[in-house]
Amino acid sequence: MLTIPLLKKTLLLSSLFMVFLLSFTACGNRQVDSKEVAEEINKPKSDSTMERDERFLVNTAEYNFREIMLGKLAQQRSTSEDVKALAKLLEEAHRKSNSELSALALSKSIAIPTAASKAVMDDYEKLNLRTEKEFDLEYCNMIIQNHKDLINHFENYTNGECDQDIKIWVLGVISDIRIHQAKAAQLEMEVKNSVSLN
């Protein structure tokens, strides 16, 4: 249930995000990057821990969008039912994670991206250009690397000064990230074996 202060925060963050979004689009034909908008809204802060929390949430949202976008693509392009199943699992898990992250960011009055960044879309396009034969292996490679990076991102954050609510959330989801990485690594081996047999 929304309380009056939380409703005010929600309206304020939404309004700020829209103002920045409109000001970026008014500056010519440049494509708006949701991550850049969120980073701009969060500046400037005098509290270094708060800045660290902001950077962490913004970057975590970007990781989530990468998994969501690549997962959607793999469900469309892969010829392997196992790869499609993993892609669906990851898409759903990272949608849930992004939803929780959005609520957490809102409670901390931190703006986070609401759409995939240019870097995420570049990864999407790179994967989409792969041939049918290359696609599954490249998807697995990208997922494994993304999850390694995400685990490092989480561990670096929790090993320093950080917001305790955010830290509790991270500690609650990091085990799932490790499980996803292990599943992707196992699937990568199966895909490699399948490719070498053909």
Domain boundaries 4-197, CATH class: mainly alpha
Check whether 154 has a pLDDT greater than 80: yes
Q: What percent of the chain has pLDDT over 70?
A: 78
The Cα–Cα gap between 17 and 13 comes to 6
pLDDT per residue as tens digits for the range 99-147: 999 999 999 999 999 999 999 999 999 999 999 999 999 999 999 999 9
The Cα–Cα gap between 153 and 158 comes to 9
Output 87-96 pairs: Cβ under 8 A, ≥24 positions apart: 87/139, 89/180, 89/183, 90/143, 90/180, 91/67, 93/67, 93/176, 93/180, 94/63, 94/64, 94/65, 94/67, 94/68, 95/64, 95/68
Residue 174: pLDDT band by 50, 70, 90 thresholds?
Answer: very high
Query: What is the predicted pLDDT for the residue at 142?
Result: 96
Query: What is the predicted pLDDT for the residue at 14?
Result: 52
Q: Where are the domains of the chain?
A: 4-197
Q: What percent of the chain has pLDDT over 90?
A: 69
pLDDT per residue as tens digits for the range 2-20: 455 554 555 445 544 544 4
Query: What is the predicted pLDDT for the residue at 112?
Result: 94
Supply the mean pLDDT for the chain.
Answer: 85
Between 84 and 8, the more confident residue is 84
